Structure 1
Amino acid sequence: MPSAETYVTYHRKTYPYIDPTQPKLSCADKNVLVTGGGYGIGKGIARSFARAQANNLILVGRTRSILEDTKRELEADFPATTFHVFSADITNIAAVEDLFSSLIASLGRIDVVINNAAFLSTISTLQEANLKDWWRAFEVNVLGTAAVTQAFLRTKPEGLKATVVNINTSVAHYGVFPTYSSYTASKMAALRMTECFQAESPDVRFVSLQPGGVDTEMYAKFHMPEDYAMTDIQLPSDTCVWLASEEAAFLAGRL
Structure 2
Amino acid sequence: MAAQESHPFVPKTATPAFIVPFVKTMYRVPYPAISPLRPELSQAGKNVMVTGGGAGIGFAISRAFVRAKASRIIITGRRENMLMEALATLNTLAAEHSPDTVITYSVSDFASLEDTERLWTKLKADGIFVDVLVLNAAVAGPIGTLLQSGVRAIWETFEVNVRGLLDYTEWFSKQEWDKQKYIVNLSTSAAHAFDLDVPHIAAYGITKNAGTLVMQRIAQDVDPKKIQIINYHPGGILTHAARSVGLDESSGEWDDENLPGHWAVWGATDEAKFLHGRYVCAWWDVDELKNGEAAKRIEKEFNFLRVGIVGLTQYES
Q: Secondary structure at the match of 1:230?
A: coil
Q: Contact 1:126–1:179 (CA<8 Å) still a contact in 2?
A: no
Q: Secondary structure at the match of 2:146?
A: coil
Q: Contact 2:63–2:93 (CA<8 Å) still a contact in 1?
A: no
Structure-2 separation of matches of 1:141 and 1:201: 21
Q: Residue 243 of structure 1: which of 267, 283, 293 is its match? A: 267
Q: Which residue of 2 aligns with 1:220?
A: 243
Structure-1 separation of matches of 2:151 and 2:83: 30
Give CA-to-partner distance per residue, 1:58-92, whole Å, 9 cap, x none: 00111111111100111012032111111111222
Give CA-to-partner distance per residue, 1:35-61, whole Å, 9 cap, x none: 011100111100000000110000011
TM-score normalized with structure 1 length: 0.92
Counterparts of residues 199-214 of structure 1 (less than 5 Å): 199-202=220-223, 203-214=226-237
Paired amino acid for 1:35:
T
RMSD: 2.0
Highest relative contact order (Cα 8 Å, sep 6+), 1 or 2?
Answer: 2
Identity %: 32
Count residues in correspondence.
Answer: 252
Q: Secondary structure at the match of 1:236?
A: helix
Q: Contact 2:53–2:76 (CA<8 Å) still a contact in 1?
A: yes
Counterparts of residues 1-16 of structure 1 (less than 5 Å): 5=21, 8-16=24-32
Q: Secondary structure at the match of 1:143?
A: helix
CA 1:128/1:6 → structure 2, altered by over 3 Å: closer, same or farther?
closer
Q: Which residue of 1 aligns with 2:216?
A: 195
Structure-2 separation of matches of 1:156 and 1:192: 26
Q: Residue 132 of structure 2: which of 112, 131, 141 is its match? A: 112
TM-score normalized with structure 2 length: 0.75
Q: Secondary structure at the match of 1:206?
A: strand
- Unpaired runs of at least 5, structure 2: 1-18, 280-317
Query: Structure 1 residue 234 and structure 2 residue 234: aligned?
Result: no
Q: Residue 193 of structure 2: which of 174, 177, 184 is its match? A: 174
Q: Which residue of 1 aligns with 2:61?
A: 45
Q: CA deviation at 1:227?
A: 5.0
Structure-1 separation of matches of 2:176 and 2:207: 26
Structure-2 separation of matches of 1:151 and 1:36: 17
Structure-1 separation of matches of 2:105 and 2:255: 27
Q: Contact 1:101–1:155 (CA<8 Å) still a contact in 2?
A: no
Q: CA deviation at 1:130?
A: 4.0
Q: Quick check: 169-178 or 243-252, which moved more?
A: 169-178
- Unpaired runs of at least 5, structure 1: none
Q: Quick check: 102-111 or 149-158, which moved more?
A: 102-111
